[in-house]
Structure 1
């Protein structure tokens, strides 16, 4: 068969592969295949790719795959499809998998380290990949233990007093058992200077440890991976506020500036009528990496994940079981108004409230500021706000698959999936009114699915793949509001279900001009279940969204193995797109009936020999709302606006990556490998309203490095500079609650970082 599952289980790179061209084995179809065989748009990054391009986290990952974009430093968007919704039971559009286990809340457990590969699948994954996703998946596969003793240590020193350390140790226990330990540690100062107290914020102090145990007797294999992540940082993903003041709304939608919003917050008048003075904000520094805030951020996280994969080969059938368990907690503190307002209160009597005078004509208030971990009160002349958040997550998942390896032209794969996930938390907003706006939410998701695919060789060169999946999602939510009474009921339950799948024709002709050609045409449907708007009595629920995707692709190896070229053209019929806004303290998610996405992608590698290697990835995208739709914009007083014809959020028209490296010998066995990586993307909008204040300008990223190694030495050194031009690149402009004037929070890429890394094998 062209790509029978059994034939691919033990597949290795062919002997005729060019020495300078990577042959990567992927599991995008739940069976081991070379990247070029898979009739799906996949970017696969091997351990060597991750090292050579210095892909250390998700911000770096977006530079290395077309039409893949990281918004708000946490949400991945693929081909214009990404999570725009809010709420405890809202699903992700992009599935995050760790060793094949679907993560309900999408964490990637800190920075990347000791990975075998990362697979980025673009397009709806409606059959095989964990839960249903409409945009794609990212699967992180950790290094497996081997039967050889050894390991490595990497120490990296970088700017901002940064230290990174990674280590791994592989221990063969017996002929059938092996063990691997790995760990990663990061500590650095913050990139942002707070002129209120002179401290640097947005620093990191985190570590991850991993244990991998493998059993393999040739017929049965089992892999148990345990991962624990801990963080205690003064990190805030977005620390810079931007606002073009507007007397009606606080911040204008006509653009952004570094000015603070006017003192027109609704809660000022509602809770502090007449008490607050206008124009009390201290100037917001124009530098995007400088702030004046009176509450420094806090970020505490711990996360544990266990994955267990069991495979048993019956000869004609392979039985696979994938089990996952996860639990974690998080706590954060941030400055709610992202500014400093000294002497903000008028002394006097205001109705039933009397505000004391400090003797200088300034009002003095006593109120709760935040809980850390016990309640903290302040007596102050300053307007100080804080917001604390605490959350928990727990999930169990089980997937079972049976794949055939039959003689003849037909094979199949069938399976079932179960997920039980709980999560929730509380958000407390502290305001100078002896009142706390508190929202507590807990939600649960129970998901069942059955799925299957058939693989039929119509001819020796033409294969048909057909798959179906039925998903049933049961969701429940409970909400409580500590300031404003919620309309009953505040507990809700709902069920969502859908049938999805794919159909693919894959043609692999034997042609003289390509050593390995694969042309495919596919249709796939992806589904994202609906959910709840916590505490929102007007719009308590929202519906499913569905994407029907059509794709034509080609994968080729050319020029005697020196060129690898993959292309894809796609069209999406996007139905009931889910988007959300924060109105006050409540999430409001709605469905936009119809949108349209189409585009083109090209990925290429050229390795002509003599140590030269060139890489490129181009993404072209058009993503627009097609149906008439009136949407309420909280940033403009809740008024409704027609958004037909607007671009989907976080959808740059163009993304482009170019890279080149040259490995050459110097002296006795010494090698130097300089490398340059360049990435650029066009402008885009961060919200579906496409106002001038939603537009994020285009930006570039230029990275340089020089690797030094010797065949006779167990170590190598890399000197590097990331973001050479020190650009303040914005990845997202988040519109905050209208309670604080709807100012924008700017999410930034890292500034210029330079350093050196020492890697030692043993």
Structure 2
């Protein structure tokens, strides 16, 4: 069980993308400037120490559109220290796990053994943090100085936001822009494994077994799912409902009816986690109730061809049955449209291609037979004490699945399902002991051929899986040396190459792929980004400057309002070459997702080409003629540069880094007592070890992961 105030994600890094004030010599009005920023530019992480341009984010951008804000809420310099943030409230992280296991073993006779392993696992995780991790410097607009009766819209604004204060049921009353993202999950899992093993005296032995797993992650608890809560979103819905109640027009385009707020926080609890019923239309919530039943049958046979050579053959049959309720997000969705926002919503287009039942429950099934074959050879060599040579081919499988529900404003934002992942793995190696057992040298070479390798990307504030093909190959070297009875030295070196194969994809950081014939703009409703021709954009700006269109009309470009009207503005089509070499044509005023890049030969994420681990330990036995031994150990780790995403652009680069750990272990083998003093990250190195790019709507910032700060401690243990 855990209950503390740690963050679940790292600091945000961003090179702020300012609003454009002109394009092609044409001045841009503020009403149109607000759709020109992506939030963050595509800059290297070590040059990204600004705050996000909040105008380019979902909540911050909508706040500008309705008048709550007049620009970027984050104007102060960002804190440069990677381990320091500024937050409007304390985070919390709560986790609980109950795990029961039962292991049974039965010797049927002298040569057959049956084992059973059963387990039941319940988990609950709930966390909350300030999304922005920076303090806003600009307050919401206070229009109370404008006398009533002059402007009905101002009167409505002042009635809903007196003094420029938004009274958010979850966040509380505040005149500062605030964003929080509670995230949680409750799960239950039952697994059962049966295994029959032989121990015949002859050359043939076997291992047979079966595994069953039943896993559920549901929406029965209010903590399930991911929330995006902002007083800007709540304020927009409050203003919308108030306008409709007064007989005025809707404030939220395309939403002609009111929508209910989550008013469950009647006591004004400052803990956002205690102020949710999960049904509010004033926040974004994505929840995907999920069930998995997985069954596997497996068996391996081991045949001793002679005393030195053993052949292994194994097969495995796996059947995965997965189901997920389709619950689209319901931010701003009127109650009359979806009375129960957690009820599954049928999706005929998707479900017809799955199980054929149009009931709002996506069901997929995967069945595969995989296996491996190889040999172990232990020749008697004159220059080693013991030698093992081995070679194996394995066919591996990882089940496909179902992505989160599609956003209501873009039903084709990403594939509804993703394919199974397959690997053909080839490995050869050797393990050798020599010099009287004081030295050991292990070598292993491998080649992995992946089909439909599964990659995760954030789209529409949800983690979405998609597939790519890839190849990985490398060499691992391990050397151990005991120069004396109390010494142990070790070295591990890993050499790795990875590359994508025939992969073409749009980079959300660079939707134009560097093609100056196109520009990137904000979708005024979803705050995702789109690409549109530079010629078409300049034409609409020119029409605004000439008074033919009103200020703010560029909002319609990503919404598709001008698509098909090219002839009206004297425009035609625009052609471009995609990353796969295809010539494509699109209307000059027609928005699209962007230009594909050729990612073939790019590195896989988190795959440095070299890793090195050195260690040395020395044991002082029988201190003072006692039964206590003292062991001193030091470890050094180093890895070269790597990438955080498959696009391998400067923002994705993770610099090389190193780490040193030290430990002293005082152990008494007679009593089972052990005292360990340790120092992790001894020199307090502060380096980025990974990064996760957020999608367009939060502003394309990167959450970074760091080495743990220097940690010193003592542990005491007792074993029986």
TM-score by length of 2: 0.68
Secondary structure of 1:433's aligned partner: helix
Cα 1:615/1:479, change in 2 over 3 Å: same
Q: Does 1:364 align with 2:212?
A: no
Higher strand content, 1 or 2: 1
What SS does the corresponding residue of 1:441 show, helix, strand or coil? coil
After the TM superposition, which residues 13-52 of structure 1 pair with which residues of structure 2 at under 5 Å, given as runs? Answer: none
CA positional deviation for 1:714: 8.2
What is the CA-CA distance between 1:696 and the residue it aligns to?
A: 1.2
Structure 1 residue 738, shift from structure 2 partner: 2.2
Which of 457, 477, 495 is matched with 1:602 structurally?
Answer: 477
Preserved CA contact (<8 Å) 1:420 1:446: yes
Farther off after superposition, 419-428 or 548-557: 419-428
After TM superposition, give the deviation of residue 455 of structure 1 in Å: 0.7
Alignment of 1:34-73 (within 5 A): none
Post-superposition shift, 1:652? 1.2
The answer (yes or no) to whether the contact 1:357–1:364 under 8 Å persists in 2 is: no
Residue in 2 that maps onto 1:483: 331
> Which residue number in structure 2 is paired with residue 517 of structure 1?
387
Question: Larger C-alpha radius of gyration, 1 or 2?
Answer: 2
The 5 A counterparts of 1:182-581 are: 230-247=1-18, 248-256=37-45, 257-263=48-54, 264-270=56-62, 272-273=64-65, 274-281=67-74, 282-313=76-107, 314-348=109-143, 354-356=156-158, 363-368=164-169, 376-424=170-218, 425-431=224-230, 432-434=232-234, 435-480=282-327, 481-483=329-331, 488-489=346-347, 490-536=360-406, 537-538=411-412, 539-581=415-457
Change (3 A) 1:666 1:325: closer
Counterpart position of 2:652 = 694
Q: Call closer, same or farther: CA 1:278–1:514 in 2, change over 3 Å.
A: same
Q: Using the alignment, how far apart are the partners of 2:719 and 2:378 within structure 1?
A: 41
Residue 363 and residue 397 in structure 1: after superposition, are their counterparts in 2 closer, same or farther (change >3 A)? same
Q: How far does residue 355 in structure 1 lie from its aligned partner after superposition? A: 4.0
Question: Partner of 1:657 in structure 2?
Answer: 613
Distance 1:352 1:687, change over 3 A: farther
Residues 501, 759 of structure 1: alpha-carbon distance in 2 compared, 3 angstrom cutoff: closer
Q: SS at the partner of 1:324?
A: strand
State how far apart, in whole Å, the 2-side matches of 1:710 and 1:579 are.
Answer: 47
Instruction: Quote how far apart the aligned CAs of 1:430 are.
Output: 0.7
Q: Write the deviation string for residues 711-733 of structure 1: whole angstroms up to 9, x where unpaired.
A: 99986654432212211122211
Give per-residue Cα distances to partners, 1:533-573, cap 9 Å, x unaligned: 11124211111110100000111111111112222100011
Note closer, same or farther for the CA distance 1:310–1:430 as it changes in structure 2 (3 Å cut).
same
How far the C-alpha of 1:488 sits from its partner, in A, is: 3.4
Inter-partner Cα distance in structure 2 for 1:528 and 1:272: 45
Q: CA deviation at 1:236?
A: 1.4
Corresponding residue SS for 1:268 = helix
1:669 alignment partner in structure 2: 625
Structure of greater relative contact order (alpha carbons < 8 Å, 6+ residues apart): 1
Q: Which whole-Å CA distance do the structure 2 matches of 1:673 and 1:331 have between them?
A: 40
Following superposition, the deviation at residue 377 of structure 1 comes to 4.3
The 8 Å contact of residues 347 and 354 in structure 1, kept in 2 or not, is answered as no
- CA drift of 1:515 comes to 2.6
The alpha carbon displacement at 1:602 in A equals: 1.6
- Pairing of 1:703-714 with structure 2 (within 5 A): 703-707=661-665
- Which whole-Å CA distance do the structure 1 matches of 2:500 and 2:132 have between them? 32
Q: 2:212 & 2:669 partners in 1: Cα distance?
A: 49
Q: How far apart in 1 are the matches of 2:115 and 2:160?
A: 72
- The alpha carbon displacement at 1:741 in A equals 0.6
1:689, distance to aligned residue in structure 2 (A): 1.3
Instruction: List per-residue Cα deviations over 1:404-454 (Å, max 9, x = no partner).
Output: 222321112222111111014222211122120111221000011111111
Distance of 2:152 and 2:613 partners within structure 1:
60
1:347 positional shift: 3.2
Following the alignment from structure 1 to structure 2, what is the Cα–Cα distance between the partners of residues 448 and 236? 37
Q: After superposition, what is the alpha-carbon deviation per residue over 1:172-222, rounded to whole angstroms, capped at 9, x for unaligned?
A: xxxxxxxxxxxxxxxxxxxxxxxxxxxxxxxxxxxxxxxxxxxxxxxxxxx
Unaligned stretches of 5+ in structure 2?
19-36, 144-150, 219-223, 235-281, 334-343, 348-359, 512-528, 530-592
Alpha-carbon separation, structure 1, partners of 2:114 and 2:622:
51
Per the alignment, do residues 683 and 350 of structure 1 end up closer, same or farther by CA in structure 2, a change over 3 Å counting?
farther
Q: Describe the shift of the 1:328–1:628 C-alpha distance in structure 2 as closer, same or farther (beyond 3 A).
A: closer
Flag the 1:400–1:761 CA change in 2: closer, same or farther, 3 A: closer
Instruction: Give ranges in structure 1 of 5+ residues lacking alignment.
Output: 1-229, 369-375
| Kept in 2: contact 1:527–1:546 (CA 8 A) | yes
Distance 1:578 1:705, change over 3 A: closer
Name which of structure 1's ranges 646-655 and 230-239 shifts more when overlaid on structure 2.
Answer: 230-239
User: Partner of 2:535 in structure 1?
Assistant: none
User: Contact 1:555/1:565 (CA < 8 Å) preserved in 2?
Assistant: yes
In 2 relative to 1, CA 755–421 (structure 1 residues): closer, same or farther, beyond 3 Å?
A: closer
SS in 1 for 2:483: strand
- 1:24-57: CA deviations, max 9, x gaps? xxxxxxxxxxxxxxxxxxxxxxxxxxxxxxxxxx
The DSSP-based 3-state class of the residue aligned with 1:668 is: helix
1:501 partner SS:
strand
For the structure 1 residues 354 and 243, does the alpha-carbon distance in structure 2 shift closer, same or farther, using more than 3 Å as the test?
Answer: farther
Cα distance between partner residues in 1 of 2:678 and 2:464? 44
Q: What is the CA–CA distance in structure 1 between the aligned matches of 2:669 and 2:368, rounded to whole Å?
A: 56
Distance change in 2, residues 1:411/1:706 (3 Å): closer
Aligned length: 524
Q: Which moved further from structure 2: 673-682 or 716-725?
A: 716-725
CA contact (8 A) 1:582 1:634 kept: no
What secondary structure, in the 3-state scheme, does the structure 2 residue paired with 1:416 have?
strand
Matches of 2:16 and 2:158, distance apart in 1: 30
| 1:641 Cα deviation after fit | 2.9
Contact 1:243–1:259 (Cα < 8 Å) also in 2: yes
CA contact (8 A) 2:508 2:695 kept: no
Aligned pairs (5 A) from 1:677-688: 677-688=635-646
Q: 1:199-258 CA deviation, whole Å, 9 max, x = no partner?
A: xxxxxxxxxxxxxxxxxxxxxxxxxxxxxxx01011213231111112331112222322
SS of residue in 2 equivalent to 1:554: strand
The whole-number CA distance in structure 1 between the counterparts of 2:83 and 2:210 is: 49
Deviation at 1:479, TM superposition (A): 3.5
In structure 2, distance between residues paired with 1:357 and 1:342: 24
Relative distance call for 1:758 and 1:521 in structure 2 (3 A) is closer
Structure 1 counterpart SS, 2:61: helix
- The 1-side partners of 2:421 and 2:155 are apart by 50
